[in-house]
Amino acid sequence: MNIFITGVAGFLGSHLADYCLERGHKVSGCDNLMGGYLDNVNSKVTFYNYECNDLNSMIKIMKNIDIIYHCAASAHEGLSSFSPYSISKNTVDASVSVFTAGISNKVKKIIFCSSMARYGDQNLPYTEDMNPKPVDSYGIGKVAAEQYLINLCKTHGVDFTIAVPHNIIGPRQKYDDPYRNVVSIMINLMLQKRQPIIYGDGEQKRCFSYVSDCVDTLYQMTVNPKTNSKIYNIGPDEEFVTINKLSELIANKLKFNLNPIYYADRPLEVKNSYCSSAKIKKELKYTTSISLEKGIEKTIEYIKNRGVRDFKYHIDLEIINEKTPITWKEKIF
C-alpha cells in the first residue's frame, strides 16, 4: 500500500514510518519541522518539508495514496491555554487541510491521532463511549478535528479510525522542547546535572506507554477493517505513576541526587488522567511489552547517545499574564 504520514519527522510518525516500511509498504510523508527532528525520518521515506496547512501542496503530494496517518499536530496541551492560535492552527486547520486533500485524492482510509485531552476531567478511567468534554484549547482542537474527520469521511464515503494515544515515551521524542514531554525533559535536565521542575505538588497521576507498543496497534488500523468508524484508546492502564515517583525512577536510573524544584500548578492541568485499555486489549490484542522502567532506560540511552541539548522556546507565548507559568515566561528550563 501507499501510506502517507503527516508529522513523519515527529516521534510517533517516524516510528510508524519504520514499521510500515518493514512490512513492505511505500511510505511518503510531510513535516514542517516545527517539532520532531529531521534525522528521525527514514531514508526510504519520500519526505516533503511541507506545511499541512498548505492545501494545494497537500493535494499534489497525496496522489495515489491509499492510507493517511495524520500525526502532525502541535501537541502542546499545557501551552495551548497561552498560545491558542498557534496550537489551533496546527491542530484544527492542519487537520482539515489534510482530510480535504486526502478525500479529494480518493484515499481509502484516514487514521487520525487524537488525544486523551478529548476527555477533559471526567471519571477515571476514560472510556471511548464517554462524550468528549475537553477543558483546554488543545483538547477542543482535537475534538473539532475528530468531528471534521467523521463528517467529511461519512459525506464522501472514506473509511476512518480515531486513535487516542496517551503519554507515549521512547527514543526520538523531542527532549529540548520546554513545553511538553515530561520524561524526556527530566532526563535532559538531569543529564545536565540540573534538577527537574515539577508543577504543583507532583502527585498528579499518569500512565505512560512505550512507543513500539502504540505503533503496533496503530498499524493494525490500516489492515483490520473492523477498526473502521471506531475510536480506540491506545496505551496501558497499569503502572500508574505520580510525577514525583517518575522523577525518582529517572533519578535512580541516572544515579542522580534528586531534589526537584516545585512551581505553581499549570492552569487547567488535570490532576489524575488515564484511559481504559479494555477495548484495545479485547479488539486489537494490545499488550504492554515494554515496562515503564525499561521505557525510561531506552529513552535515557537515546538522549545520552545524541547528547544533551539546551531547551528551545520555539513557539511564542501569545497570552502573557499572571497565569502564564514562570518557567516559560522567564525561560527557566
Ligand X SMILES: NC(=O)c1ccc[n+]([C@@H]2O[C@H](COP(=O)([O-])OP(=O)(O)OC[C@H]3O[C@@H](n4cnc5c(N)ncnc54)[C@H](O)[C@@H]3O)[C@@H](O)[C@H]2O)c1
**Contact positions vs ligand X (CB under 6 A):** 7, 9-13, 30-36, 51-53, 71-75, 90, 94, 113, 115-116, 165-168, 174
The least distance separating ligand X from the CB of residue 15, rounded to whole angstroms, comes to: 8
User: Between 91 and 324, whose beta carbon lies closer to ligand X?
Assistant: 91
Its sign, for the CA torsion 156, 4, 286, 141, is negative
Distance, CA of 232 to CA of 216 (rounded, Å): 13
CA distance 62 to 217: 24
In whole angstroms, how close is the CB of 101 to ligand X at the nearest point? 12
Q: Are 327 and 197 in contact (CB under 8 A)?
A: yes
Residue given cell 488522567 in the structure block: 273
What is the closest distance, in whole angstroms, from the C-beta atom of residue 273 to ligand X in the complex?
A: 11
Identify which of residues 103 and 164 has a Cβ nearer to ligand X in the complex.
164
Degrees, nearest 5: CA angle 196-200-202: 60
- Cell (9 digits) for 228: 473502521
* Rounded least distance, CB 193 to ligand X, Å: 26
Query: 97: helix, coil or strand?
Result: helix
167 vs 204, beta carbon nearer ligand X: 167
Say which residues have a Cβ less than 8 Å from residue 308's Cβ, sequence separation at least 6: 188, 191, 192
Residues 6+ apart with CB under 8 A from 187: 175, 250, 254, 296, 299, 300, 303
If the CB atoms of residues 73 and 256 are measured against ligand X, the closer one turns out to be 73
Scan for cell 497537500, then name that residue: 58
Tell me which DSSP letter residue 131 carries.
P
**Nearest-approach distance from CB 54 to ligand X, in angstroms:** 8
Cα separations (Å) of 108 from 112, 133, 223, 273, 314? 13, 30, 11, 34, 35
CA 207/CA 116 separation, integer angstroms: 11
- Cβ proximity to ligand X: between 12 and 256 the closer is 12
* 332 grid coordinates: 527557566
Our CB check for ligand X shows the closer of 9 and 17 to be: 9
In angstroms, give the least distance from the CB of 55 to ligand X. 11
Residues 259, 176, 68, CA angle at the centre, nearest 5°? 130
> Is residue 188 within 8 Å of residue 197, measured between CB atoms?
no
> Please, which residue, 80 or 327, has the CB nearer to ligand X?
80
Minimum CB distance to ligand X smaller for 134 or for 165: 165
Residue 180 or 256 with smaller CB distance to ligand X = 180
Q: In the bound complex, what is the minimum distance in angstroms from residue 322's beta carbon to ligand X?
A: 28
Segment (H or E) for 169: strand 168-169
Give the residue nearest to ligand X (CB). Answer: 10
Summarize the chain as % helix, strand, coil (round to 5).
40, 15, 45
Q: How near is the Cβ of 257 to ligand X at its closest, in Å?
A: 28
Distance in Å, CB of 35 to ligand X, minimum: 3
